Amino acid sequence: MLNGSNGLCQEVLRSEMGLVYSSGALINKYMYFGFMIIGAGISFENKEKCLNGINKIFTMLKDKSMVEDLLKFAKEKQAQEDYVSSENINEVIRDLEGYIFENRLSREELGNLIKQLTPDDIINELPNISKKYVFFGKGENK
């Protein structure tokens, strides 16, 4: 929903605002907490514009019809990835490792959870994002 060329990060930060070449989100969830990282390669001078764009993304995620469309696309993409990954030996080994060490859901379990996910589930989770930290690394022109 946030990643890829059809995701909200690219739509807002690249297509609308012209701030980045690529951007995306990474979400990790643990038993008692989780975190999300939105990565975007921007110039330091555009940091405020980028933060405004990120706030716009979260505002857009409150629109149920938009979330329905994004979720439909995400579910279709997940189904395609399931089909392809079942023939990829690296994915089969990754799933086996997760099963043995019980440190992640199998691809099938994850797919079932995604199929059950509703727009309301996503919208209701947004208020639980409570802290925002922003890190900028300033490189040197050479």
For residue 84, the domain's CATH number is 3.30.830.10
Query: In Å, what is the CA distance from 47 to each residue of 19, 27, 74, 129?
Result: 9, 22, 29, 21
pLDDT at residue 104, as a whole number? 63
pLDDT at residue 103, as a whole number? 57
Structure confidence by residue, pLDDT tens digits, 83-139: 666 666 666 666 666 556 655 666 677 778 888 889 999 898 888 876 676 676 666
Q: Is 101 exposed, middle or buried (0-12, 13-18, 19+ CB in 10 A)?
A: exposed
Q: Does residue 108 lie within any of the structural domains?
A: yes
Domain that holds residue 84: 8-128
Residue 7 vs residue 134, higher pLDDT: 7
pLDDT at residue 41, as a whole number? 82
Least confident interval from 3-7, 20-24, 40-44, 93-97: 93-97
Q: Does residue 1 lie within any of the structural domains?
A: no
Structure confidence by residue, pLDDT tens digits, 29-66: 666 667 778 888 888 888 899 889 989 998 998 999 98
Q: Does residue 133 lie within any of the structural domains?
A: no
pLDDT at residue 141, as a whole number? 60
Q: Does residue 51 lie within any of the structural domains?
A: yes
Alpha carbon 28 to chain centroid, angstroms:
10
pLDDT at residue 120, as a whole number? 93
Q: Does residue 140 lie within any of the structural domains?
A: no
If one counts the domains in the chain, the total is 1
